[in-house]
Chain A
Amino acid sequence: MSKTVEITKEADQFLKKIEELSGEKITSCIQCGICSGSCPMINEMDLTPAQIMSKTQLGQEEELLNSKSIWICASCFNCKVRCPRDLDLAKVAEALRQVVLRKAVDKINIDAISPEEMMELPQIALVAACRRLTN
C-alpha cells in the first residue's frame, strides 16, 4: 500500500458532509487521544476513535467507510463526556454509518435464506440486520 495520501478537493467535501450529518465541528479535534483511551471497545477496533477523527478531517472516505470501528462503536458516550473539545464522537460514527447505509447496498439477501434457517435465526437480530444491511 502506498504511504502517500493525496490531498484532494473531494476530501474536503467528504469532511463537510460528515460535519453536516453529525453536527460536530470535526476540525476542532486536537488529537489528544482521550477518546481512544476511554473506549471500552477499543481492542475490537481497526481504526481508533481519534484516528477516525483525523482521517475524517483528511477526508479519507474509503478507509473510513470500510472500517470495522464505525460499526463497533456502541454509542456509550464515554468519549463524548471526556473530550476536551466537547465533541460527540458517537455522532460522527453515526454519520459515517449513515453514509454507508445511504448507499443502499444489500449486504444480506433475504431470499437466499432458507425457511429452515429462518426458523433458527434469532428474530430480533434478523430484523435489526435487515434494517441496517438491506435497502
Chain B
Amino acid sequence: MDEKKNKQRIGVYVCHCGGNISEVVDVKKVAEEASKIGDVVLSKDYPHMCSELGQQMVINDAKKNNLDKVVIAACSPQFQGPTFMKTLEKAGLSPYVLEMANIREQAAWPHFNEHEKATEKSIELTKMAIEKARRDEPLQKGEIEIGNRVLVIGGGIAGIQASLDLADAGFKVTLVEKEPSIGGKMAQLSRTFPTEDCATCILSPKMAAVGDHPNIDLKTYSEIESINGFLGNFKVKIKRKPRYVYEDKCVACGLCEEKCPVKIEDKFNEGLSQTKAIHIQFDYAVPFKYYIEESPCLRLQYGGNACGLCQKVCPQDAIDFDMKPKYEDITVDTIIVATGFDIFDAREKPEYGFGKLKNVINGLQMERIIVKAAEGVELKQLGKKVAFIQCIGSRDKQIGRPYCSRICCMYAIKQASLVKKMDPSRDVYIFYIDIRAFGKSYEEYYNRAQELGVKFIRGKVAELMENPDNGKVIVKAEDTLNRQMIQGEFDTVSLSVGVGPNAATDKIVNMLKLAKSSDNFIQEAHPKFRPVDTLVPGVFLAGTAQGPKDIPDTVAQASGAAARAIALMNQGKYFFDPMYAFVNSEKCDGCELCISSCPYGAIKMENGKAVINAAVCKGCGVCIGHCPQDAIDMNLYSNEQLIAEVKTALESKKEGEHRIIIFADDMTSYRLIDSVGTAKMAYSSDSRIIRVPSGGRVTADLIVKSFYYGADAVIVADAEEKSSPYSTSKTEMFRNIEIAKKILTDAGIETDRLLGMNFVTVMLVAFVKTVNKYDEMLNQLGTISKEKREKLMINLREKLFGVKHE
C-alpha cells in the first residue's frame, strides 16, 4: 500500500456562531479534542466561519497546509453547506471533501440547558464528521452537455404556448399531437370566462403561428412510441398515424367529403352532429388537411375495390389507401409534458342518466351547442328551462375523485350566462355545493350572472329522471339553505363534469418514469417552489397534466415550463451532484435483483454485470439493500462512511448511558430536526443523527450493525410518501426494518427498539415526542447485553438474504 495515500491532511474548524454555539458548547474543548485525532493537521475555533474572513482563512490554510479534507463544525449543512462548498472550490479542492458537523441545530440549540452534554455531543458530532471526511473522495460535479432541442408532448393550449415561447427564444421544438389538429380542448370551447372572449378568436392565431413557425416541427396525428435516455439525450420514437391523405398534396377543396357516403358521429361536436369518414377535424384545424377515419371507411374496412369515391374525385391525387404508419426517431435535450385532461365520463354516475336520458348533456356538449347556436346551427334545442348540475365527477370519493376540478363552477356560470343572454325569457338554474370563483375578476363575473337572473340553488342533485309524458328531466335536490326539498322539470340538464388526467398520460408517465400524485395527475417536483419541474431532470410540466387548471393558469404554467427549459438549456451544460450509486463489477454476480428495485430504470445489465447509469440514478440508494453480494455502493453516503459514523457515534458511550441512532433523510427529516433545533425544543441529548439521502438507503445490514456497535435504539426517519422525492423509499425502508426486526428477534433483542417513521417538515412536536418516548423506553429496557449484540453478527449476510438457513 502506498503510505502517502493513506496519510491524510484534515483541517477542522469549530465555529462560535457569534455566541449561538459558544454560549452553550465549549468550542475550545471541541477543537482541542478534534486535534487529537490522527490525520488532523490543524484544528481551530473561530467566531464566524461563514464570514468573508472565516472563508478566506480556510482558503489560506488549505493552500498553506496542503489540506485535502475540511471539517467545519458549525450550523446545519442545509444552511451554510453550499457556501463552504464554494469556499473549497476557491481553495482548489473538490467541494465534496467538505463535511459539516451540525453542532448548532443538533447540539447548542436543542440542548441549551445541558452545557456539558451539548459539548460532549458536539465533540462526537465533530469526530463523526472527521471519520466521514476521511472516507470522502475528491469527486467533481457531474456534467452533461445540453443542446437546444425540445419535445413538447400535447398540442393543446399548454403545448402551443410552451412551443411558441421556446421557438421564439430560438430553440428547436418538436410538437407532437395525437389528434389530426392542434388546439386541444380549448378549440372546442365557446367563450372564455370571465371576459367572454370567443375561444376560437384568441386561439386560432396562436395555432396558425405554430403551423408557420420555422423553429417548430409540428407532428399531428402522431403518438410517442417510446422515450429512452436522459437530459441532453432523450431518444424519442414517434409514430405517425396514417391520414390516408398526403398533407402536402391536399388543398382542402372538399370534393372528397361531398362524395363520401359514410356518415359518422362528429367527435369534435361531442357526438351531437354527424360528419363524413373523410373530413377535416374542425373549421380552423391546423394543419387544415383532410384525413380518413379508419374504422368507418368502407375501403379501409373491406379493401379491394370497395367504395374509393374520394380517391376518384380528388383532383390532387392526394388520397392513398395503402398509407402505413411511419416511425421517426428524434433526439431532444428537454421535454415538456402537456398531455392535458379528459372530462369525466358521466356514465360512471348512472343516477344522472347521461347517455340514457336525451335531455341530459355534459358541459362540453353544452359548449358545442353554444358555439354552433352562434353560427345559426341548432345542435340541440335547449328549451325554456335549463339546469346546470355541479360537481359531477369532482369532490366525490365514491368514484375516487376527491379533488375540486377548479373550472366547473366558472364554466357553468359562463354557460348559464350565455344561454340566458341568448334567450332572456329562459329560466336558468345552477345547483351547486359551493361556488368557487377564485380567479381574477371571477367573483365579479359570478355577480353579473346573478344580475342576469341566473338562479343559484345550494344543493347537490341526487338523481335525474325523465317524465315519460313530455321527455322533460325531473330534478330533485335538497335546497340546503332553506332546508327544504326542491323539485322541478327542466327541458335541458347540463352536467358540469369535472376533469381527470388525459387517457394518454399514463403511457407518458411510465416512459419517463414520472411520479403521480394521489389525484392521478402528474406530480410536480415541489408543490410550492418547483411547480413546473418534475423529479426527472430535463422534464417539465405544463397545463392540466399536472392538475386541473383554467386557461390563464395553464398559459402561465406553460410559459413557466418553457422558461425553466430555457434556463436549463441556455447553460449548455448541466451540473449535478455526483450523488449516484455504482456497482463493483468484481463483486457483482449478475443476479439482477437490483434492477427491479430501481424505480427510475437506471440499472441495466451489461456483459452479465449490473451497471448504473449515473445520469439517470437519483441517488436514493434503495438498490444497495437489495444486493446479496454487497456489490453496490454510492457516492457521498457510502457504506463505509455510514458505518464509520455509526461506530464513532457509539464509541464514547459511557457505562449506563444509552444511545439512540437516528437516520434522517436529507430532504425532510434532517430539515425537520434542524427546525426542532432552531425552535430550541429540547429532546434527549443521547440521540445521534446521521444524514442519509433517503429512508430506503438505510439497509437492514446498517441497522443490525448499528445495534452491534452499541446502539440501544434505532429510528429511521423518512419523508412522508407524498413529499419524498423518491417514490419507493418508504416501502423500502419498512422492508429493511422488517428484515432487521427478524434478526433482532433471533438474537433476543426487543423489536420495539427499532422504529420507522414518516415525517413532514412541520412535525416538530411529533419528532420531539418520539425521541423522548424512546429515551424513556430505554430507561426501562436498559442496554443490550454483549452476547446478544454479538449474536447479531453470526451469519449476518445469510440472515439478510436468506441464502443459507441454519
Contacts and interface: CB of A to CB of B under 8 A. Distances in A.
Partners in one complex: yes
A82 B433 contact: no
A37 B476 contact: yes
B433 A32 contact: yes
Contacts of A30: 395, 433-434
A32 B457 CA distance: 11
A84 B396 contact: yes
Interface in B144-166: none
Most chain B Cβ neighbours within 10 Å, of A31, A34, A42, A48: A34
B460 A32 contact: yes
Nearest to A54: B480
Given A37-B477, A37-B478, A48-B485, A84 B397 contact: yes
A51 B485 CA distance: 12
A34 B390 CA distance: 12
Given A34-B462, A36-B485, A50-B478, A82 B391 contact: no
A86 interface: yes
A90 to B, nearest CB: 15
A73 B459 CA distance: 20
Given A30-B433, A50-B480, A37 B398 contact: no
Most chain B Cβ neighbours within 10 Å, of A31, A43, A50, A85: A31
A33 to B, nearest CB: 3
Nearest to B462: A37
B397 A33 contact: no
Majority-rule SS of B interface residues:
mixed
B594 interface: no
A48 B480 CA distance: 9
B477 A33 contact: yes
A92 B478 CA distance: 19
Contacts of B351: 82
A32 B485 contact: no
Given A30-B395, A82-B351, A38 B483 contact: no
A83 interface: yes
Most chain B Cβ neighbours within 10 Å, of A31, A32, A43, A86: A32
B179 to A, nearest CB: 32
Given A37-B463, A37-B478, A38-B462, A32 B391 contact: yes
Contacts of B610: none
Most chain B Cβ neighbours within 10 Å, of A33, A38, A51: A33
Nearest to B458: A33
A42 to B, nearest CB: 6
A58 B485 CA distance: 22
Interface residues of A, number: 20
A36 B397 contact: no
A38 B459 contact: no
Interface residues of B, number: 22
A83 B397 CA distance: 8
Interface string B390-406: 01000111100010000
A84 B476 CA distance: 17
A37 B460 CA distance: 8
Nearest to B397: A86
Contacts of A84: 391, 395-398, 402, 460
A50 B478 CA distance: 9
A42 B395 CA distance: 24
A81 interface: yes
Interface in B591-639: none
Interface string B436-470: 00000000000000000000001111110000000
Contacts of A43: 485
A76 B455 CA distance: 32
Interface string B123-149: 000000000000000000000000000
Contacts of A34: 459-462, 477-478
Contacts of B459: 32-34, 36-37
A87 to B, nearest CB: 9
B787 to A, nearest CB: 48
Nearest to A45: B485
Given A42-B485, A82-B351, A32 B480 contact: yes
A43 B460 CA distance: 18
Most chain A Cβ neighbours within 10 Å, of B351, B397, B433, B480: B480
Nearest to B351: A82
A37 B397 contact: no
Interface string A46-75: 001011000000000000000000000000
Given A30-B433, A37-B462, A37-B463, A81 B398 contact: yes
B210 to A, nearest CB: 40
A75 to B, nearest CB: 17
A38 B433 CA distance: 15
Interface string B375-400: 00000000000000001000111100
A18 B38 CA distance: 67
A85 B460 contact: no
Nearest to A31: B480
Sorted nearest first, the 7 A-B pairs with minimum C-beta distance are A37-B462, A33-B478, A36-B478, A32-B460, A33-B459, A86-B397, A84-B396
Given A34-B462, A37-B478, A82-B398, 15 more contacts: A32-B433, A32-B480, A33-B458, A33-B460, A34-B461, A35-B462, A36-B459, A36-B462, A37-B459, A37-B477, A83-B397, A83-B398, A84-B395, A84-B402, A86-B397
21 contacts: A32-B460, A32-B480, A33-B458, A33-B477, A33-B479, A34-B460, A35-B462, A36-B459, A36-B478, A36-B485, A37-B459, A37-B477, A38-B463, A48-B478, A48-B483, A50-B480, A81-B398, A84-B398, A84-B460, A85-B397, A86-B398
